[in-house]
Amino acid sequence: METHPKDLTPLEERLGYQFKDKAILIQALTHRSYLNENASFPYPHNERLEFLGDAVLELAVTEHLYKNYANPEGELTTWRSALVNAKTLASISQQLEFEDYLLLSKGEARDKASKARMYILANAIEAIIGAIYMDGGMPAAEKFVQTHVLNHLPYILKHSLYIDPKSRFQETAQELLGITPSYKVLSEEGPDHQKEFTVGVFLDKEMVAVGKGSSKQEAQVSAAEAGLEAKNWANKE
């Protein structure tokens, strides 16, 4: 009883895993919003698989780091965080080109550029991992994680992407310019429960970049990320 509008074979080829039970793959691709508009759809949404996949992913990454690196626990924790965060997982989903296979409401399908879309994509990767685990067991899930997630580790380590953007921007600014960055709130918009902050990051009096976020801290991190790009420090050796 397959009810996905697309042929899933090309997706399975990119994932590197062929599902015995196609229903669990369809469930992994089904966002909660889709069911709001398609009440008769025979499969549940992917949040339970996401819950499972999150744990499987963390275990697979943790075991790999533990077996292959003798670094202290604190360092391994930051490396793991950089591998399994929403930004990394969303980029993996884009590389696998499975966004068009996601079953979303019409509104969610249109909203391609938002932060919410990044989390939908990241959560779907976790749901896919959960689905592979349920269909093929831990070896199949570990193979997927090894191929599509852990392959990002050398790049993350080479470019120190496990260090948060504010720390990276500050360390690089102090090293190259002898300046400690400062942050200033440029505007606040929206009601108290849904505010959006716009923050500028400054080197002395020069505003290097601007970031937005639902909190001052989030906006500062966004500004630091933009600052790293603006200064060509994002991939500094």
- Residues that are catalytic: 54, 126
Candidates 61, 141, 128; CA nearest to 90 is 128
* Calpha distance 217→215 (Å, rounded): 5
Name the helix (H) or strand (E) containing 141: helix 115-148
Residue closest to 134 by CA, chosen among 53, 37, 219, 189 = 53
115: its two tokens: 């932060």
Separation between Cα atoms, residue 102 and residue 118, nearest integer Å: 13
Contacts of 185 (CB under 8 A, 6+ apart): 197, 198, 199, 216, 219
The sign of the torsion formed by the CA atoms of 145, 148, 154, 158 equals negative
Name, in order, each residue with C-beta under 8 angstroms of 83's C-beta and a sequence gap of 6 or more. Answer: 61, 149, 150, 152, 153, 156
Residue corresponding to tokens 């600014």 = 173
Contact 60, 43 (CB under 8 A): no
How is residue 54 written in tokens? 């999150």
Handedness of CA 53, 59, 62, 67 (dihedral sign): negative
